[in-house]
Each structure stands twice: as C-alpha cells, then as structure tokens.
Chains A and B, each alone.
Chain A
C-alpha cells in the first residue's frame, strides 16, 4: 500500500518531501512523486500519513 500525489493539483511546495519519514518523495518534472516501494503510509511512524497532513491542497496526497 502506498500514497500518490495528484500531479495536476500539486503546487510543488516541497513540504511533503522533508516531512516524509521514509524519504519516499522526490521532485520529478513539474511535481513531486511518491516511490511506492518506500512509502509505508507512515504506519507505526506517525498518527497519519505526513504528506497528507502537511499538504496545502486538499485531496492531493491520496491512496494510490
């Protein structure tokens, strides 16, 4: 299981990149992408996925 970023809504603010405890997020092209192999949905690491919590745009970091 992993999260993904809706590219058309991403403002490329980068907040998710350094909040991600797994270093699963990096900038590619015009937006950030989540590496599904590294994403743990923050299970056991935080109360909720950190990318979702810090993302300024609703429904942009969503379950893949």
Chain B
C-alpha cells in the first residue's frame, strides 16, 4: 500500500479518485475498461482488450480448474480453445451453451447445455484462461513461443505441496456471484474439451478475500481479518500498467508479442492451520498480521485505509507494526516497490482425514507481469520470516500465462496457433 486509499464513503459520494477511469465509481468505472463495451447489469463483457476476471470487481465465488492436454494434435487443442472462447462468451452473457435452444433440442440427443444455470442470472460470470509452462514443451510446437517469465515456480519455503494439486497445461478461472453459475461454466467447458483436455485438479472458492475495485468493501478471510485493504485496484491504472499488464507503461520488456496486454497468474492453495490460529490470543493474531482485527486498521494507525507507518514505535520503543508482521513483510516499501493484484478466495475441502482437522484456508490468486521477480522473492521472504507462516501451509501451486483479451469474432489460442 503506497498511497492512502480514499475511504469507500468518499468514493461512493463521487469524490475524485486518483487514477480512476474518470467515471463515477465502481461498476461504471469497470465497464469503461479499454475495449470493453458497457454490459447489461449483472453481466461482464467477455470480449475486450484484456481478459475479464482480472481487474473485474471481484465476484463472490470461484471455480478454478487446472487442466492437462491429453491429445498430441495441436489442431484439436486449437479447436477446443476456439470453442471454449465461444462458449465462455455465450455463458458470460447469461445464455446457455448452444444458444437459446441449448437446453432443449431433440429428445434423442443429450442437451448441449448441462442446464443447472437455467433461469439464473449471469451473476457477473467471468472465465479467464491461462497457459501453464508445460504447454510449451515439444508436443504442440510451442517451445519457441514460451515467454521467459513463464517458468515453473521454484521450491519455496513454507510449502508442503500435494502432488495432485500442482501444475497444469492450462487453467480456467471462473468467477461469479453465484457458485452454481461458476461451476456450470467450468463443467460445460470441461465437457467441451473431453478427449482433448482433462482436469488435473480443481478448487472451489467461496467468498472473496480481496478487493479489486475502490467501490467494494474489504472482505474478511478465514483468519477473521480484513484482507485486500492495500490491494491494487481496477482504478489504479498506472500501477496496473507497471506491475500487472505485460508490456504496460513501466513494465519489463516484452519477449513474446502474443502476451502483450496479458498477465501472469500464480495460484497457491494456502491451508490455514485454523485450530492453532483459533487458539492464538487476539494480541498475537494482531501482532502476526499487523492490523487490528475488528477495524482492519494498521497497528500504526486508526482506520482501515490509513497508510502503514512502518517506522512508528510504541511508548516502549518497539515497532507498532512488528518486524515479523505479515503486512510489513508484504508491503511494497519492503519489497522494492513490488505491487500485485490479489484475487483470492476462501476455500474448504472438508476434513484432513489423517488428522481430523479442518482443511480450509485461502486459495490465493495473484496477477503480475513477472512472477519470478514479483511473487517468488516475496514468498521466499514471507515463507522464511513472516510470523504468519507458522499458521499456514502452501499445499497447491500453479503458474499460468493469461493472454490478452480477444475481440468479438476472435478466439482463445489465436496468438499461439496462428
């Protein structure tokens, strides 16, 4: 968090927002993203200069799928990507796969659409595609198309990865304000891809743990703390160009032209050791995070959006924000100015059957234009020094290149296969 954030109240009463898109607030500002037509209420346009689902005001639910390509024929993969983009655009508009007749059709044929989103609103559905590093091996002739930034993540401290929740040739991030709508999207795309791709691992997320628009209130994660207060927001266009979009103003040089206007997604399934956390005293919890639990204010300030004052000390001379506090170690000021766009979700997968403990936590998703210079050093530091690490375990991981958006009539994969 570098600049003080305007309070939500200020934004909602129409106060000027530095770096905002020049529109009032919130949804209107988002609809004005470059290349995006204004959408019907409750829908997010699928087509545009950027993929939806990145700076889109974060929806309430997530279904994330990492997939492997099972065919060796590049043409089949290109065909599935093309069909996916058509289907995703259709579903984002609130229309069934196959159009208005996708739910019906002949009695002797399976319906084209699986049907569970019938009569539900589009719920701001977005579907975001990413390519994993493994896609760029020898199978499809893409080896010379791999951007340097798209490398598998190195081993990182604080992780105990489950091999069944790592990697993937592709990812689909479906977000919506209704979990059934998000699941429906992934289910139908998986069905379309059957025979060409298959799901490698999947994660359902309920409840956003970030804010991606100044118009949104800050949610709480499963630790009970407000999360995403200092997150980059859709309105921070200068910072987004520099830190998030490939080829943006002030961003690293572009080595693969097809990625210009895209970004990289890092996903980390972060299990919270909730039993231990729940036994920690309030003072310990606040010291570890560096914020007050109730208000979300930094321990150096009084209100949620007060800037961190990392130099401030208490009466006894100790730092107000502990040297090992999460917010201090994650702050841009202590990371060479690195800022990231977080878009995480709370998750639970029930029980860890081995121990009987709850398997719950944060499915952390972060976007940036150079994961190996942004996320990796940050996690190296957090994994080693962050007081919070004692209560966390990274159990799943993936890194994906999200290509730029596509125009009407365009198709996913066009930068790679054409």
Does chain A bind chain B? no
